[in-house]
Amino acid sequence: MTVPEKEAQPLSGLRERKRQETRRRITDAGICLFVDKGIDATTLDEIAAMAGISRRTFFHYFRSKDDILLSLQQGMGEMIAERIRQAGDAALPLDAVRGAVIATCAEIPADDMVAIDRLMRSSPAVQARKQASYVEHERTLDAALRERWPDPPRAMALRLVAMVAIGAIRLATEALGMEGERRTLVELLENAFDTLTDEVSGAKADNRTAPVQG
C-alpha cells in the first residue's frame, strides 16, 4: 500500500527528529564520559549504555568515538560561509569574514569550546584529524568568498582571507584555554583580527615611506 504524500511527509519529519535526538544523546553521553574518564579510557559500550542504545546502533551515527568530538565542529565552516554569502554589497572580504566568524563563535558557549578543545588535545589521533578538518573549513570559506566575490584575479587573496579566518579561530581557542577564560572568545577573536589589521596597515605604511633604492 502506498502512503499518501501528505502522510509520508510528517512521518519522514518524525523519523528525522528521532534520529537527531538519538545523535544528541550519543554526543552528550560521549562528552560526559570523555570529561570524566578521558577519551582513551572510555569504551563504546559505556557510551551506548549511557545513551540508551545498543553498540550496533552507535555505528549508524558515528564510525568511532573520536567522531563524536569531531562532529561538534563539522558544521562551523558552513555556518560561517552562510554569513559570508549574506554580506552587504559594500562589505570587504576581510570585514565580512571577521563579522561572520565572530557572530558564529559567539553562539558557542565558552565552557563548551574550552572543554572540547582540551579533550581533542588529549588524543593525538583526534588532534591529527582536527588539523585536517581545519583545511576543510578553509576550503568551505574560500568557496563562499569566491561565490560572493567572483572576480578571478582576487582568488589568491580570498584564499588567504579564508586561511586567516580559520587561523584566528585556532589562536583564539588556544588562548581561551591558556588564559583560563580571562577574556571571552569574542574578545580574543576581536583582538586577533585587530592585530592582523594593525600589522597589515603598518606594513603598508612602511612600504610607502621606505626610500627607493637606486
**CATH class for domain 7-64?**
mainly alpha
What average pLDDT does the segment 159-170 reach? 93
Domain over 72-204 is classified CATH 1.10.357.10? yes
Burial class from Cβ neighbours inside 10 Å (0-12, 13-18, 19+) for residue 89 reads: exposed
DSSP string, 46-87: HHHHHHTS-HHHHTTT-SSSHHHHHHTTTTHHHHHHHHHHT-
208 has a pLDDT exceeding 60: no
| Residue extents of the structural domains in the chain | 7-64, 72-204
In the predicted structure, residue 33 carries a pLDDT above the cut 80? yes
pLDDT surpasses 60 at 203: no
Above 50 in pLDDT, residue 181?
Answer: yes
Average pLDDT over residues 47-76: 90
The three-point CA angle 74-29-27 to 5° equals 15
**Which letter does DSSP use for residue 37 in this model?**
H
Q: Please tell me if the domain spanning 7-64 has the same topology as the one spanning 72-204.
A: no
pLDDT at 211 over 50: no
